[in-house]
């Protein structure tokens, strides 16, 4: 099992999760998906349900769903969605336990980055800790990504959360990024981390799944 987090919202966690899921399926692995909390609809949940041809109910795959495309803690507030943190954790844990027993490999996708507050001071990273999962960080290739990626690594390691590696998702074409190879080497050196994959698009990618299995 792996928790796919990222340096930001919109960085490509779902995009990479879909590619990763297909790679594992092609290896004959029975892959499931859990989106513990999704805000702004159910696009991610539906995308992976379709990509992996999952029969699971949307409510099982995505136990906590918020209508507004906002930070979860804010969405709960503006939607007057009154639920305790304990209940949030119970619902997520229930889905997690069912799905982890049903599939040989479970991809769990966060929402936004690691410091996204779910409720009160319970962050996305606290959810990762609660589920006791290792992580993969999805990062952009362009200027700014060194800081965002190193901060994310440091935050996770400070909570003793395993970071299996970084996957660079090229929403921006590498040809438009000067010295991108040096950016990647800097992330690896300063973060003491491996870049285990580079995704150019849904047909052009290279992911070392051995680092994830």
Ligand X SMILES: C[C@H](N)[C@H](N)CCCCCC(=O)O
User: Which span (36-44, 162-170, 176-184, 197-205) binds ligand X, by CB under 6 A?
Assistant: 36-44
Q: Is 10 near ligand ATP (CB under 6 A)?
A: yes
Sign of CA dihedral 100, 131, 117, 9: negative
Minimum distance from residue 26 beta carbon to Mg ion (Å) = 22
Structure tokens that stand for 32 in this block = 């499931």
Tell me the closest approach of the beta carbon of residue 28 to ligand ATP, in angstroms: 25
- What residues between 71 and 90 interact with ligand ATP by CB under 6 A? none
Selected binder of ligand ATP within 1, 2, 11, 92 (CB under 6 A): 11
Binding-site members for ATP are: 10-15, 44, 109-112, 169-170
| Cα dist from 52 to 5, 45, 122, 157, whole Å | 19, 11, 30, 31
Using CB under 5 A, which residues numbered 16 to 75 contact Mg ion?
A: 44
Whether 119 is catalytic: no
Question: Does 71 contact ligand X by CB under 6 A?
Answer: yes
- Residues 50 and 105: their CA atoms lie apart, in Å, by 17
- Dist CA 190 CA 99 (whole Å): 36
**Residue 71 interaction partner, one of ligand X, Mg ion, ligand ATP, none, beta carbon < 5-8 Å per kind:** ligand X
| Residue 117 parent element (H or E) | strand 117-119
Q: Are 114 and 155 in contact (CB under 8 A)?
A: yes
41 binds ligand ATP (CB under 6 A): no
Q: Is 171 in the site for ligand ATP (CB under 6 A)?
A: yes
Measured CA distances, 23 to 53, 99, 130 (Å):
14, 19, 27
**Which of 25, 35, 100, 200 is the catalytic position?**
35
Helix axes 85-102, 124-131, angle to 10 degrees: 50
Site residues, Mg ion (CB under 5 A): 13-14, 44
Q: Which residues are catalytic?
A: 35
Interface residues with ligand X (CB under 6 A) are: 9, 38-40, 69, 71, 111-113, 116
């Amino acid at each position: 099992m792996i928790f796919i987090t990222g340096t930001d919202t919109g960085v490509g966690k779902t995009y990479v999760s879909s590619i990763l899921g297909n790679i594992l399926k092609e290896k004959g692995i029975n892959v499931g998906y859990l989106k513990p909390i999704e805000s702004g609809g159910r696009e991610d949940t539906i995308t992976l349900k379709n990509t992996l041809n999952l029969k699971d109910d949307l409510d099982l795959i995505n136990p906590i769903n918020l209508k507004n495309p906002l930070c979860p803690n804010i969405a709960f507030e503006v939607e007057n969605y009154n639920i305790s943190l304990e209940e949030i954790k119970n619902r997520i844990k229930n889905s997690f336990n069912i799905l982890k027993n049903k599939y040989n490999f479970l991809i769990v996708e966060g929402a936004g980055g690691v410091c996204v507050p779910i409720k009160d001071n319970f962050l996305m990273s606290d959810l990762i800790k609660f589920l006791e999962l290792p992580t993969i960080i999805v990062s952009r290739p362009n200027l700014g990504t060194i800081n965002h990626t190193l901060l994310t690594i440091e935050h996770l390691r400070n909570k003793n959360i395993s970071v299996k590696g970084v996957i660079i998702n090229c929403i921006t074409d590498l040809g438009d990024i000067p010295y991108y190879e040096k950016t990647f080497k800097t992330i690896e050196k300063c973060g003491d981390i491996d870049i285990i994959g580079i995704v150019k698009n849904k047909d052009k990618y290279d992911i070392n799944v051995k680092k994830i299995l």
